[in-house]
Amino acid sequence: MIKTVIIDDEPNSRELLANMLELQRQKIELLGTANDVPSGIELIRTTRPELVFLDIEMPGGDGFEVLNAFKEIFFKVIIVTGYDQYAIKAIKYAAMDYLLKPIDLEELDLAIVKFEASKGKNETNNVHFLKSNYTRGAKEEMSQIVLPGHKKYAVVQLDEIIKIEAQGNYAIFYLENQETHIVTHSLSYYEELLPSNLFFRIHKSYIINCMKVESYEPGRAGQVFLIDGTALSIAARRKVAFKKIIQALTG
């Protein structure tokens, strides 16, 4: 059984989520709910849950205050939030799971499946990373990303990434230091997430960091040469957009 708690200031949201979790009572044990920061901290300390559904924005204090009360995050966190594009982007950069209000039952089921697949991974660094990104403000571009692997997370600077290769429902990140990271998201996920003024999907199999382009041959093949020595073709329909990005970066 997955020992679980809910911390959310909205009564209707708490009740809806609790009712949804009841449908999975064969594997979810709801230990309790809390409606503010102090009661949330106390609930976690007394019940020692494995999984916490946490509303990050609450009157009189936010979810980070709950998390800051614990030196080590010994539980997995699923953020429950209203829709905010910047907030969701910060959560994704931190490789943390989230649910949008009103909560969808299928999305909840998927979040629980993902929790089961990621049990044993330490959440502490991801929480600290999320906090730093979440509180910067929407105008400042994030410079790091957390990459979720099979056994651990890796924090990577965006300017260290050379290219990203599709591998089914996974993706491989290639870094300047010659490290590679296989991550549990598709290439399309990162195409949407990464800043479009720097990262460009040249065809179905690759996203490249345009700052790592050494040269470009615009002929019929349309090849781009990267600083790691690789030569990759650019899909014909993407050549015009690629040229615009390169021109914008090079002045």
3-state secondary structure of 116: helix
Q: How confident is the model at residue 119 (pLDDT cuts 50, 70, 90)?
A: confident
pLDDT tops 90 at residue 188:
yes
Length of the chain: 251
Average pLDDT over residues 57-74: 87
Q: How confident is the model at residue 224 (pLDDT cuts 50, 70, 90)?
A: very high
Torsion of CA 54, 49, 182, 214, to 10 degrees: 40
Strand runs (DSSP E) across the chain, as ranges?
A: 2-7, 28-34, 51-55, 57-58, 61-62, 76-81, 97-100, 144-148, 153-157, 161-167, 170-175, 180-183, 199-203, 206-209, 213-217, 223-226, 231-233
Average pLDDT over residues 241-250: 88
- Nearest to 231, CA basis, from 245, 243, 215: 215
pLDDT tops 70 at residue 135:
no
Average pLDDT over residues 145-152: 82
Long-range contacts of residues 237-245, Cβ cutoff 8 Å, at least 24 apart: 238/200, 238/201, 238/202, 238/203, 241/200, 242/200, 242/202, 242/210, 242/216, 243/218, 245/197, 245/200, 245/210
Q: Taking the model in full, what pTM does it have? A: 0.83
- What pLDDT is recorded for position 14? 95
